[in-house]
């Protein structure tokens, strides 16, 4: 298995893309730390991975709290021994026009999608640099989950667009800073995936999302996990910087 002897940390692993990514990385031989707020969901996932012979560490944490984010990273390094892969996946998408939007929704998106990702990236970076230096693969990976919304702004999606464009900008700058150290920073930008993400929206917004995307056949979390696993299993000299991945029927 390609990730034998390595350790991966996945944020937002209690559902959707993060959950599927944890399974996919464990399947490739990585020991996996699974991080989110819903402990029961993480325990359930850990039991499934464990049954298949994988090694899992459950960490209940809110990544918007810098101390909790840092503690999750440090616990992973101390209990699993190292960190070769960070999948910065935890995110929220609260849509709707800017006018009269509840500002608390904007704060939540900035806190989770931007600050949470930055806290985890900052804490994990020294571990990734060390992992790239001392094997077993002599390369380490940070995969930041953005979105098509990180490429194209859309009416009714302004602040989500802002957070995901920000993730793209930060990822490219960081990539240039650490690529000579063999730490690869990759951006994965999914289109519509069938997960719990949209379900946190206000009912009137949810209706709008449904009519925008209609009844196209959405991707499954496993489709994105597959892309993440591909990115992190490339040979040391190959860096997949960016993956834009849409359902075939999604136009924009």
Query: Which positions are catalytic?
Result: 160
Buried b (16+ CB within 10 A) or exposed e, 11-37: bbbbbbbbbbbbbbbbbbbbbbbbbbe
Binding mask 23-62 for ligand NAP (x = CB under 6 A): -------------xxx--x--------------------x
Q: Could you tell me the smallest distance in angstroms from the CB atom of residue 148 to ligand NAP?
A: 6
90 binding ligand NAP? (CB under 6 A): yes
Q: Could you tell me the smallest distance in angstroms from the CB atom of residue 217 to ligand NAP?
A: 13
CA 89 → CA 17, 156, 182, 208, distances in Å? 8, 22, 21, 25
Spatial separation of the C-alpha atoms in residues 250 and 41, rounded to whole Å: 30
Q: Which residues contact 69 (CB under 8 A, 6 or more apart)?
A: 61, 62, 63, 116, 119, 120, 123
Binding mask 91-110 for ligand NAP (x = CB under 6 A): xxx-----------------
Which parts of 150-189 interact with ligand NAP (CB under 6 A)?
none
Residue closer to ligand NAP by CB (options 77, 187) is: 187
Beta-sheet strands, E only, within the chain: 7-11, 31-36, 56-60, 85-88, 140-145, 183-190, 242-245
Residue range at the interface with ligand NAP (CB under 6 A); choices 23-31, 86-94, 96-104, 244-252: 86-94
Residues that bind ligand NAP (CB under 6 A): 11-18, 36-38, 41, 62-64, 89-93, 112, 116, 145, 147, 190, 192-193, 195-197, 221
């Amino acid at each position: 298995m390609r990730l034998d002897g390595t350790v991966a940390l996945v944020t937002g692993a209690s559902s959707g893309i993060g959950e599927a990514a944890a399974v996919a990385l464990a399947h490739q031989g990585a020991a996996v730390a699974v991080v989110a707020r819903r402990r029961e969901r993480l325990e359930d996932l850990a039991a499934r991975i464990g049954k298949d012979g994988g090694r899992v560490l459950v960490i209940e944490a809110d990544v918007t709290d810098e101390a909790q984010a840092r503690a999750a990273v440090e616990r992973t390094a101390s209990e699993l021994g190292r960190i070769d892969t960070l999948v910065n996946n935890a995110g929220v998408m609260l849509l709707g026009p800017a006018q009269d939007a509840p500002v608390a929704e904007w704060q939540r998106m900035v806190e989770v999608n931007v600050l949470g990702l930055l806290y985890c990236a900052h804490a994990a970076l020294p571990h990734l640099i060390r992992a790239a230096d001392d094997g077993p693969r002599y390369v380490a990976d940070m995969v930041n989950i953005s979105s098509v919304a990180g490429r194209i702004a859309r009416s009714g999606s302004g602040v989500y667009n802002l957070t995901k464009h920000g993730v793209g900008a930060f990822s490219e700058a960081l990539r240039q800073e650490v690529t000579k150290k063999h730490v690869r920073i990759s951006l994965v930008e999914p289109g519509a995936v069938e997960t719990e993400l949209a379900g946190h929206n206000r009912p009137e917004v949810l209706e709008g999302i449904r009519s925008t995307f209609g009844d196209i056949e959405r991707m499954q979390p496993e489709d994105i996990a597959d892309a993440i696993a591909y990115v992190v299993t490339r040979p040391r000299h190959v860096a997949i910087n960016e993956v834009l991945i849409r359902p075939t029927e999604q136009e924009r």
